[in-house]
Structure 1
Amino acid sequence: MTSSREVARAHLGMMLWALLVGLSFPAVGLMSEGLPPLLLTAIRFAVAALALSPLLFHHADRWPGLAGLALYAVMGLCLAGFFGTMFWAAHRATALSMATLFVSVPLLAFGLGLMFRVESLAWRLPGVLLLGAIGALGLAWAESGGRLDGMRFGIGEAAFFVGCVASALYPVLSKWGLARGWLSPRAGLRTFWSLLVGGGLIGLLGLIGESPSDLAGMTVGDAALLVYLGLFSSGLTFWLQQRATAVLTPAAVTAYGYLVPFVSMLVLFVREPQHIGWEWLPGSTLVLAAIALLLRRDAVNRRLQAAA
């Protein structure tokens, strides 16, 4: 049985995850324009995997079996599918449409988790996820200036939705592989292999669709930012997600994605306080309420398990 301390650590870790992901967007905005995004992502993953590589020398279960290797390959395809479609759709879909589609990831993770039998059929969690999705949509609406004319569904949005499905499938496969003993019980090793395989596939997409010579425009500042993003926005965040996946359900893990636009909103207020307005309040309130209900739900479940 999972202890209360492990569950609490998983939730706290995902709050840190949301903070790190939310802070990564301003950092990415500081990088020079014209750099190939897929190749940059592959380098970020390579930096993170390199930082985790010493784990290979300290644990006996460092090498996955054939089933685990195949599963890591599929998980890598999920990462490549999400990042690949995100960058491809960025020039073909509106920001509001993409933000709206992304809020579907926790609900998609819940549905896929039911299919893989790593989620339990209950009404409370979908209700919490729906509340968080409405709140995240409210934040997206506020960010767009209260306008809805950026909403549409074309080929770019369709491709990005496929990427959202791939993103939702990643924690489901992690949980499923853990339940079958195919993946290492150590979050660090799972993170390493996911980043290594996923980064390799993303790099391959970058070599096909981008020009590696564009990396020559990278400055020393860009390289420093890339190392920071690799260590914290890729390595640490994936480790936190993998650690939480072993304790929480995939839907609960992905629900913390609703906090990312909330963190981005706070960063915006610090940098540009003139943007503070009432239109941010409804979405923020609903997102925070959803996270509070998620924490309460797990607390109630732990009490019931202890009583049983």
Structure 2
Amino acid sequence: MLVWAILVGLSFPVVGLMSELPPLLLTALRFAIACAGLYPLARRSANFVPRRQSLLLYALMGACLAGFFAAMFWAAHHATALSMATLYVTVPLLAFLLGRGLRVEAQGWRLPAILALGAVGALGLAVAEGWQQGGELSFGLGEAVFFAGCLSSALYPVLSRWGLATGRLPESAAVRTFWSLGLGGVLVGALGLATEPLEHLANMTALDLALLVYLGLCSSALTFWLMQRATAALTPGVVTAYGYLVPFVSMLLLFIRSPQQIGWVWLPGSLTVLLAMVLLMRHERPSPRLG
């Protein structure tokens, strides 16, 4: 999950290098490339072809991915970046609560306390970035839609863990990743075809295509595969808690590119996130591996 956080944090600068293209259709292509990269690995599994009950669960997981990306892209034009970053820190706590509902999270106070500490640190980093960029914190329709997307994002690892615990999903992380990304890509693509002009994809340059292949293989296939592997050994709350490191990685990249932006305003959030992650790795032991 540490590798996952680094890969996700590195993906944001890569996305910034791309031309302005239809985001939903671009995401569908990205998922298609990810599935193409995962197919040789997933096809080796004896459980590659899903059963009926597995297919329904894969469809729900794909809907979670489609819901999050659709909400994110729509909210990007109707909500401030600071508000979206602030709402996203709720994902680990939401995953923990949803996991408790499906009985894939253990009772206790320690993990919720660590998640809350990490949320405070990530919120501090979001506020620091918003303060430097002049962003404002608000809550309206755009923020409400993005919060619904955060719920979808939190539900994805919970459904995966529940599917493993009940025997509905196979042991192979590659198979789980392949089918959830595949069905999610179909749903995102259908939504994109209904709402975005297909001809705008013709503006894609060779650089855009190269970056899209990188994002599909490294930032989608590899990251979701790592998450699925971690879900078999860690609870959803712990898995999603590593998302607190993503803004920290992005902050380090910002400092590398623009050292003059280093200031004390980043320090409280950074230290709080690091403390939360140390506590998480020190006190949370992997649960018995499922599958």
Decide: shared fold, TM above 0.5: yes
Match for residue 283 of structure 2 among 286, 297, 300: 297
Query: Deviations for 1:88-136, whole angstroms, at most 9, x for unmatched residues?
Result: 0000000000000000000000000000000011100000000000000
Match of 2:157 among 171, 178, 181: 171
Q: Report what 2:16 is aligned to.
A: 29
Partner of 2:86: 100
Letter in 2 for 1:179: A
Change beyond 3 A, Cα 1:100–1:56: closer
Instruction: Using the TM superposition, name which of 179-188 and 104-113 deviates more.
Output: 179-188
After superposition, where does 1:22-61 map in structure 2 within 5 Å?
22-33=9-20, 35-61=21-47
Structure 2 residue matching 1:145: 3-state secondary structure: helix
Q: Check the 8 A contact 2:118/2:276 in 1, yes or no.
A: yes
Give 2:269's aligned amino acid: G
Q: 2:100 aligns with which of 93, 98, 114?
A: 114
Could you tell me how far apart the structure 1 residues matched to 2:168 and 2:135 are? 47
The structure-2 alpha-carbon separation of the partners of 1:53 and 1:102, relative to structure 1 and needing over 3 Å to count, comes to same
The number of aligned residues is: 288
1:254 aligned partner, one-letter code: T
Decide which of 222, 228, 232 is 1:242's aligned counterpart.
228
- Whole-angstrom distance in 1 between the partners of 2:284 and 2:131: 36
Name the structure 1 match of 2:248: 262
CA contact (8 A) 1:146 1:279 kept: no
Distance 1:97 1:111 in 2: 22
- The alpha carbon displacement at 1:235 in A equals 0.3
Matched, 1:18 2:1: no
TM-score (norm: length of structure 1):
0.91
Give the residue type in structure 1 aligned to 2:151: V
Relative to the length of structure 2, the TM-score reads: 0.96
Conservation of the 8 A alpha-carbon contact between 2:105 and 2:236: yes
Is the 8 Å Cα contact of residues 82 and 135 (structure 2) preserved in structure 1?
no
* 2:70 corresponding residue in structure 1: 84
Shift of 1:162: 0.3
2:187 maps to 1:191: no
Aligned to 2:148: 162
Q: Secondary structure at the match of 2:131?
A: coil
- TM-fit CA distance, 1:146: 5.7
* Residue in 2 that maps onto 1:4: none
Alignment of 1:268-287 (within 5 A): 268-287=254-273
> Structure 1: which 5+ residue stretches go unaligned?
1-13
CA distance in 2, matches of 1:54, 1:147: 44
User: Would you identify which runs of 4 or more consecutive aligned residues in structure 1 move more than 2 Å?
Assistant: 145-149
Q: Cα distance 1:186–1:32, how it changes in 2: closer, same or farther (>3 A)? A: same
Distance 1:298 1:168 in 2: 19
Q: Structure 1 CA distance, aligned partners of 2:151 and 2:164?
A: 20
Provide the rounded CA distance (Å) in 1 between the counterparts of 2:219 and 2:96: 24
Amino acid at match of 2:117: L
Partners of 1:17 and 1:26 lie apart in 2 by 16
CA distance in 2 between counterparts of 1:221 and 1:149 reads 31
Stretch deviating more after TM superposition (101-110 or 148-157): 148-157
Q: Quote the Cα distance in structure 1 between the aligned partners of 2:139 and 2:75.
A: 11
CA distance in 1, matches of 2:195, 2:233: 38
State yes or no: 1:128 paired with 2:129.
no
> Which of residues 166, 179, 182 in structure 2 aligns to 1:180?
166
